[in-house]
Amino acid sequence: MKILFILPRYHTNYIEIFKTLLSKGHKVKLCVYNFGLIEDHKIIKPKMIQPSFFTNFINYFINSKLNKFYLPNINQFNDFIEKFSPDVVIMRPYSKMFTIFFLILKFFKKFELILYHQTDKKKLEKFNFSFKFTKFFLLDKILKLKSYSPIINRRENLYFKKFYYLPFISRIKFKEKKITKKNKFLMIGKFIKKKNHEMFIRGIEFLNKNHDVQATIIGEVSSQDHEKEFLRIKKLIATLKLSKKIVLIKNINNNKIQKFYYKNDFFVLPTNHDPAPYSILEAMSHGCQVLCSSSCGTKNYIKKNLNGFIFENNNQLSLNNHMLKMVVNKNKFFKKQNRNRLHLESYLSRKNFDTFFEKLVK
């Protein structure tokens, strides 16, 4: 089967999915709208979708995000589609204009169009008059298009029958960790305010009063805004006299992140809005106990009291208390590693993905 993915960029959460599909003999191509600074293109090399003259012209005069008026160079894009001739196109909508264009294009081509989104099932399982529900009603009931989300855990109670679940994949790579008195915490997140690096630092400050802690923060710095936030966080660490306790690292290649998961006991993701962060899944699959906020899309992959906890979004007290729980339950967590592995294999394995992918494309 020829499968074309159209995504905003080459997200880490799709690396293992591409590996799995390629290993099954599928031909896979990826189109993106932009590149990230620390992406690894060894598995598949993305093709940049060139914007149209219309898009460049509008965005030259109007101070707006590129995706608002995004349309591809139609001739170039159509030639690419004709040459590859995909059986299935999996698309994460980038702009309303591009989505409408692609819906029109679908009627002149033979491929099946499947939309990828990161929507929680709670917003769609009961009839309502919200914009989101109306949009899915149009896609499902009127246009008869399939769509899927990786952040729900079942679909039998959903109102929409063409709304599927397709899980992420993360290879389970447990290694025996040395349990020491030092409690080692890791956070990974681009240096932007919504990632809540400061909350994590305040949590370390709280634990440091009574426990032996060490923390590492890894993040991307690829813009002036990122650099500004990075320097603010660095200054905060110095002000709190935590420079010997917290290490800041920027722009580490994804293929080098693995060693940091192995070195640390705990992984904390305090972001206040992240639809489907993959780092929480990577951390679990490398044997870390994890903690994320109640707004985290991939919280459904956590089994409470087995491999992680969920704290109240944007609540420093809740974060502090749950980080303390992680330290207190450290020995119990490592004694449950076999149970944890079985749980993760049932959620994140290639076999589990294959089962749901076959249902999606049958």
pLDDT of amino acid 327: 96
Residue 119 CB partners (closer than 8 Å, separation 6+): 132, 136, 149, 151, 152
Pair (13, 152) in one structural domain: yes
Kindly report the backbone phi and psi dihedral angles of residue 217, in degrees, each rounded to the nearest multiple of 5, phi listed first: -120, 125
Kindly report the backbone phi and psi dihedral angles of residue 308, in degrees, each rounded to the nearest multiple of 5, phi listed first: 175, 180
Pair (233, 90) in one structural domain: no
Cα–Cα distance, 70 to 333 (Å, whole number) = 47
Pair (34, 67) in one structural domain: yes
| 177 lies in some domain | no
Pair (87, 155) in one structural domain: yes
Pair (353, 340) in one structural domain: no
**Strand order in 246-250's β-sheet?**
246-250, 213-219, 183-188, 266-269, 289-293, 308-311
- N-term to C-term CA, the chain: 11
Count of CB atoms situated within 10 Å of the CB of 172: 15
CATH code for position 264: 3.40.50.2000
H/E stretch holding 285 reads helix 279-285
H/E stretch holding 351 reads helix 350-361
| 325 lies in some domain | yes
| 72 lies in some domain | yes
| 222 lies in some domain | yes
Pair (156, 189) in one structural domain: no
Query: Kindly report the CA angle at 98 between 97 and 104, in degrees rounded to 5?
Result: 95
Pair (246, 154) in one structural domain: no
Report the domain count for the chain: 2
Q: Which pTM value belongs to this model?
A: 0.89
In order of 25, 35, 236, the CA distances from 195 in angstroms are 38, 20, 15
Pair (164, 201) in one structural domain: no
| 211 lies in some domain | yes
Pair (309, 191) in one structural domain: yes
| 176 lies in some domain | no
What residue numbers bound the domain in which 36 lies? Answer: 2-170+349-361
| 175 lies in some domain | no
Pairing of strands 266-269, 246-250: unpaired
| 335 lies in some domain | yes
Q: In a structure prediction context, what are the per-residue pLDDT tens digits for the chain, which is 362 residues long?
A: 999 999 988 888 899 999 999 999 999 999 998 887 667 788 899 998 888 888 888 877 776 655 677 888 989 998 999 999 999 999 998 788 888 888 888 888 889 999 998 887 777 777 788 888 888 888 888 889 999 999 886 655 677 888 899 999 999 988 878 888 899 999 999 999 999 999 999 999 999 999 999 999 999 998 999 999 999 999 999 999 999 999 999 998 877 889 999 999 999 999 988 888 999 999 999 999 999 999 998 998 999 889 999 999 999 999 999 999 999 999 999 999 999 999 999 999 999 999 999 999 98
Query: What does the pLDDT look like over 161-211, one tens digit per residue?
Result: 888 999 999 999 888 788 888 999 999 999 999 999 999 999 999 999 999
Pair (355, 310) in one structural domain: no
